[in-house]
């Protein structure tokens, strides 16, 4: 058992209100999972999970009796969400797993805190804490947390077979909390069960993989997943581990440029080797949102046309215009990461020019082609496809000239085009 000094999130009025409501009949409630783990490491606490022996219907009743909005999020598994303003609290009844069929574990509620800890995935996730900061540690999670050991509660192979999602969660938590080397029994169990991964839904795979990609150094863990023959079952396109390491470093610390930050879609694109069609296959497999799907495809479609320091200003502007700002930035960052990966000595001299290239792109606003259809009509071109053709011709010239020609110059060019076509 340990003791943690009260944290601001524990003392927050909304937390206190929820805790007071569900303990108002004298039944205990504790903080569990991520909030306890992160508070112990002095990392920011994202969401607050609470456990109690109270059954879900009683949790709802007590919340509502105290004027707190209660949502039966996963009532079959015993989870209720309490909402106060923008704060959400997940309250789960203590349980122990009775039988397991893949993700559909049959659960039974219990008042045994230890049994509840034993059904949790990793020792560092099995800690619980009272409202006054007393820590309960039934499976040695504290020591593991201190040493950066991500260990399954119980037999790793069995725990993965009960729920394959735990295999991906293992690597995700290892990316955030693990210190190498990883535990051999856990890795062996992951390797042995990796063929089960395709049974998971795309949404679940995406959820874990995108979070894993957001870790400070995802490349190390992904390399481990590759070595253990886990990654090919979900992402056979993964290839550029070194380049991803460089990108993650640039995004996090190497490059300090407002507007560039950690980005899971860019990191995914940086990791894989594929064209636009391959990107769409990944998007389908991971059930990516339309926005992420389009971005991934755009980055992969332009894999042969990266911005480079060898380009003139005009060429860069042209490419920027063609690719769009976002894809241009993504491709520039990936190109720079490749360069750093190939030659670790070159980069310091190149970082000034690369930063400048990115800075220009960030400040850039899309120039508007000065001519409209009415300009051609005014010169006597009749309605019809000719207008589009002529304007397209002038626009190409305007682009190649670095978008410098103004309305008058474009009009001259249009006149010249008309005359040459007529003569």
| Contacts to Mg ion by CB under 5 A | 34, 47
What's the maximum distance between 2 C-alpha atoms anywhere in the chain? 96
Min CB(157)–ligand ATP separation in Å: 14
Q: Which of residues 210-249 bind ligand ATP (CB under 6 A)?
A: none
Q: Which of residues 38-57 bind ligand ATP (CB under 6 A)?
A: 46-47, 49
User: What is the rounded CA–CA span in Å between residue 115 and residue 295?
Assistant: 45
| 125 counts as binding ligand ATP under rule CB under 6 A | yes
Cβ proximity to ligand ATP: between 34 and 220 the closer is 34
144 near ligand ATP (CB under 6 A):
no
Judged by CB under 6 A, the residue of 7, 15, 21, 34 near ligand ATP is 34
Kindly state the number of chain residues that form the binding site for ligand ATP, as judged by CB under 6 A: 12
Cα distances (Å, whole numbers) of residue 268 to 262, 289, 330: 11, 14, 11
Q: Alpha-carbon Rg of the chain, whole angstroms?
A: 28
Task: Find the residue with minimal CB distance to ligand ATP.
Answer: 34
Using the minimum distance from each CB to ligand ATP, give the nearer residue, 143 or 346: 143
Task: Please say which residue, 165 or 224, places its beta carbon nearer to ligand ATP.
Answer: 165
Hey, CA dihedral for 30, 41, 34, 120, is it positive or negative? negative
> What is the DSSP secondary structure assignment for residue 367, as one 8-state letter?
P
Q: Which is nearer to Mg ion, 34 or 307 (CB)?
A: 34
Distance of CA 244 to the CA centre of its chain: 14
CA 157, CA 160: separation in Å to the nearest integer? 5
Q: 51: which strand partners?
A: 30, 92
- Give the contacts of 285 (CB within 8 A, at least 6 positions apart): 202, 205, 234
Closer residue to ligand ATP in complex, CB, 46/383:
46
By beta-carbon proximity to Mg ion, the closer residue of 169 and 340 is: 169
Q: Which of 19, 21, 31, 33 binds ligand ATP (CB under 6 A)?
A: 33
Cα–Cα distance list, 56 to 17, 49, 113 (Å): 18, 14, 16
CA 299/CA 325 separation, integer angstroms: 11
Least Å distance, CB 40 to ligand ATP, is 12
256 binds, among Mg ion, ligand ATP, none (CB under 5 to 8 A by kind): none
DSSP 310: T
Place of tokens 């504290």: 142
Beta carbons of 239 and 270 less than 8 angstroms apart: no
Segment near ligand ATP (CB under 6 A), from 78-86, 132-140, 163-171, 308-316? 163-171
User: Is residue 166 a contact point for ligand ATP (CB under 6 A)?
Assistant: yes
CB of 76 to Mg ion, least distance (A): 19
Residue for token pair 């201190």: 146
For residues 106 and 162, is the Cβ–Cβ distance under 8 A?
A: no
> How far apart are alpha carbons 315 and 384 in whole angstroms?
33
Smallest separation, CB 281 to Mg ion (Å):
31
When the beta carbons of 175 and 283 are compared against ligand ATP, the nearer one is 175
In the complex, the smallest distance separating the C-beta of residue 266 from Mg ion, rounded to whole angstroms, is 25
Q: Does 116 bind ligand ATP (CB under 6 A)?
A: no
Measured from the CB atom, is 35 or 235 closer to ligand ATP?
Answer: 35
Q: Which region, judged by CB under 6 A, interacts with ligand ATP, from 120-128, 317-325, 331-339, 403-411?
A: 120-128
165 contacts ligand ATP (rule: CB under 6 A)? yes
- Are 153 and 139 contacting, i.e. CB atoms less than 8 angstroms apart? yes
Q: Which does 163 bind (CB under 5 to 8 A by kind): Mg ion, ligand ATP, none?
A: ligand ATP
CA of residue 122 relative to chain centroid, distance: 22
CB distance 302 to 331 below 8 Å: yes
Identify the H or E element spanning 109.
Answer: strand 106-109
Q: Which is nearer to ligand ATP, 165 or 247 (CB)?
A: 165
Q: Which of 10, 94, 121, 339 binds ligand ATP (CB under 6 A)?
A: 121
Rank residues 9 and 403 by Cβ distance to ligand ATP and give the closer one: 9
* Residue 375 · residue 335 · CB < 8 Å: no
Q: List, as one string, the DSSP characters of 151-171.
A: -BSS-HHHHHHH-THHHHHHH
Contact window for ligand ATP (CB under 6 A) among 119-127, 189-197, 234-242, 410-418:
119-127
Query: Per CB under 6 A, does 137 bind ligand ATP?
Result: no
Residues that bind ligand ATP (CB under 6 A): 33-34, 46-47, 49, 120-121, 125-126, 163, 165-166
């Amino acid at each position: 058992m340990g003791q943690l000094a009260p944290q601001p999130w524990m003392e927050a009025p909304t937390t206190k209100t929820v805790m007071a409501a569900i303990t108002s009949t004298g039944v205990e409630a504790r903080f569990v999972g991520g909030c306890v783990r992160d508070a112990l490491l002095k990392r920011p606490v994202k969401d607050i999970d609470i456990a109690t022996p109270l059954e879900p219907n009683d949790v709802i009743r007590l919340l509502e009796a105290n004027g707190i909005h209660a949502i039966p999020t996963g009532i079959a598994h015993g989870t209720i969400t309490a909402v106060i303003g923008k704060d959400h609290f997940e309250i789960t009844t203590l349980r122990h797993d009775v039988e397991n069929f893949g993700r559909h574990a049959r659960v039974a509620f219990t008042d045994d805190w230890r049994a509840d800890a034993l059904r949790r995935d990793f020792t560092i996730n099995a800690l619980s804490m009272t409202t006054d900061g007393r820590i309960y540690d039934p499976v040695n999670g504290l020591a593991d947390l201190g040493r950066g050991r991500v260990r399954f509660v119980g037999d790793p192979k069995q725990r993965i077979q009960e729920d394959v999602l735990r295999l991906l969660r293992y690597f995700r938590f290892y990316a955030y909390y693990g210190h190498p080397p990883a535990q051999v029994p856990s890795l062996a169990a992951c390797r042995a069960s990796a063929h089960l991964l395709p049974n998971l839904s795309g949404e679940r795979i995406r959820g874990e993989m995108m979070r894993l990609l957001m870790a400070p150094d995802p490349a190390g863990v992904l390399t481990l997943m590759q070595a253990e023959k886990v990654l090919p079952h979900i992402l056979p396109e993964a290839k550029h581990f070194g380049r991803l390491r460089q990108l993650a470093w640039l995004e996090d610390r190497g490059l300090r440029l407002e507007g560039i930050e950690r980005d899971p879609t860019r990191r995914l694109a940086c990791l894989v080797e594929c064209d636009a069609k391959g990107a769409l296959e990944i998007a389908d497999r991971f059930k990516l949102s339309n926005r992420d799907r389009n971005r991934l495809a755009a980055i992969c479609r332009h894999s042969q046309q990266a911005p480079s320091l060898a380009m003139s200003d005009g060429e860069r502007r042209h490419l920027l215009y063609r690719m769009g700002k976002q894809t241009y930035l993504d491709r520039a960052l990936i190109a720079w990461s490749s360069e750093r990966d190939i030659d670790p000595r070159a980069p310091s001299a190149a970082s000034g020019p690369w930063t400048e290239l990115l800075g220009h792109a960030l400040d850039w606003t899309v120039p508007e082609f000065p001519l409209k259809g009415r300009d051609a009509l005014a010169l006597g071109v009749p309605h019809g496809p000719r207008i589009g053709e002529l304007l397209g011709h002038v626009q190409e010239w305007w682009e190649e000239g670095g978008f410098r020609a103004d309305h008058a110059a474009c009009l001259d060019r249009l006149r010249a085009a008309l005359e040459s076509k007529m003569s």
